[in-house]
Amino acid sequence: MSTAAQDIAPAEADSAETRRLFDAQRVRALSLRNTTAAERIDKLKRLRQLMYDRAQDIYDACHADFAKPAPEVDITEILPVVMEANHAIRHLKSWMKPDRKRPTLLMFGTSAEVRYEPRGVCLIISPWNYPINLSLGPLVSAIAAGNTVILKPSEMTPHCADLMAGLLAEVFSEDEVAVVQGAVATSQHLLELPFDHIFFTGSPAVGRIVMRAAAEHLASVTLELGGKSPVIVDKTADIKHAATNLAWGKFANNGQTCIAPDYMYVHADIVDAFVEATRAALDKLYGKREQLTDNRDYCRIVNERHHARIQALIDDATDRGAHLAIGGGTPTVAADNYIGPTVLTHVDAESRVLEEEIFGPVLPIVPYTDLDRVIAAINAKPKPLALYVFARDKGVIDRVLDNTSAGGSCVNHSMVQFLHANLPFGGVNNSGIGNSHGHYGFKAFSHERAVVRERFSLAWMFLPPYKGFTRWFIRFAVRWLN
């Protein structure tokens, strides 16, 4: 049984100590503004090396918190951080160079550039579902941009939080990077401090609290939130490919992924075939249902509270007449926080599973025949963090992409947009504000400072007194530019 399953409340951080760390980092941030690319790259290389050197410790911590299998830890925790560090190391020198801009006609005789400056003292509040990845990934960007950071990991994965506190202390002094642990009271105290930038990953509900707190100090924010990410499986889709891909995308990490497929529209002509293909895919990925409870390649729910929440969603749907097309044969195991892959059909429109973000291994299927009605239904909900479409028909794909809005999308795949280093990752409105990863992450933790240098411009010709030639020249310029 995972320790996290016991829902042990962690000790809250000492507010005076947290303030001391913040003040020390505010002083250190001034000197970090002038660090070179080579100095920042050296730190990133040392952080990257720790991911390799302490891999076994990371496996152990993730297993202790929610029985996450080591191969899945490699793929979803260690690899993304290493890739993020590699990308920053490779490109940081060019990212830090001032970006020269051509003068406009009115600015003839000047030169201009955008300089990328560290925002200063940053707060990263990370979630429990990918505790290493979603803590250290943003940290890579913050360090690349030259900031100091206080990291507040989730209290629901205490083994990973403890591990990161030790790992980061091996690479950084506390006045540059510090881990502060605790629960709600600690987060509240941290949000009262005048950070220059806050990077938060979590639910839209808590994101609103973070944004309100940031407004008190006019701090900039990056909010990576969640929501209900829809999937459309058209009748022209490769059914076996779609089912296999979505079985992985939905049930990896036991469905506890912010960009996991949350609910699915499947064309009515292929629903039965899709369900059977999903069953076959799950048997291949994780084994028969009777084998799943002993399968160590299948992650567990993080704690008892979330286990009960997800089970309540299943119960509500079935009470309203939903059919357990997959799942239900093997009971959930509360002591181990186990819930097997569950696929629901004939789901009542008022079911909670179609209204609330599931964040677990439950996939409701809604049949459709009219794509326009599906698009309208998606647009009636808050904008999701991800949207997926499976089809061979390019016209269908274009109709979906052109008429919906989402933080990111995949066509005939799921979740891999997170791993593309040259793409921005982020939400829109209810699913987030701002972007991360690669150059976008570097810019999220940087202030883009505009600098104009005077050479031989004609600006003096626009100065008062507004008489004679000056008055005529201003009128001429306005008309000519028009």
Here the contacts of 235-238 (C-beta below 8 Å, separation 24 or greater) are: 235/267, 235/269, 235/270, 236/391, 236/392, 236/393, 236/396, 237/270, 237/390, 237/391, 237/392, 237/412, 238/390, 238/392, 238/412
Q: Is 127 left (phi over 0), alpha (psi -120 to 50) or beta?
A: beta
Cα dihedral sign for 296, 302, 308, 313?
negative
Buried b (16+ CB within 10 A) or exposed e, 237-275: bebeebbbbbbebbbbbbbbbbbbbbbbbbbeebbeebb
Omega before 194 within 30 of 0, i.e. cis: no
Q: Residue 333 corresponds to which tokens in the numbers above?
A: 């195991």
Q: Is 224 a catalytic residue?
A: yes
CB neighbourhood size of 236 (10 A): 16
Catalytic-role residue among 84, 155, 176, 224: 224
Q: What are phi and psi of 122, to 5 degrees?
A: -115, 145
* Token pair 């001391």 in the structure block, residue: 20
- Read out DSSP for 359-378? -SSEEEEEEES-HHHHHHHH
Under 8 Å between Cβ of 158 and 131 = no
Going by C-alpha positions, the residue among 79, 44, 87, 75 that lies closest to residue 422 is: 87
Look up residue 13 and give its two tokens. 């951080």
Closest CA to 54 of 141, 154, 179, 170: 170
Which residues, at least 6 apart from 209, have a Cβ–Cβ distance to it below 8 Å? 191
Report DSSP state, residue 147. Answer: -
Q: Radius of gyration of the chain from Cα atoms?
A: 25
Task: Report which of 310, 341, 47, 326 is spatially closest to residue 167, judged by C-alpha positions.
Answer: 47
* Catalytic-labelled residue, pool 62, 122, 258, 410: 258
SS (H, E, C) 261-318: CCEEEEEHHHHHHHHHHHHHHHHHHHCCHHHHCCCCCCCCCCCHHHHHHHHHHHHHHH
Q: What is the DSSP letter of 241?
A: H
* Amino acid letter for position 117: E
Residue 429 CA to residue 435 CA, distance in Å, equals 12
Six-digit token string for 32 = 């970090």
Catalytically active residues, by annotation: 224, 258
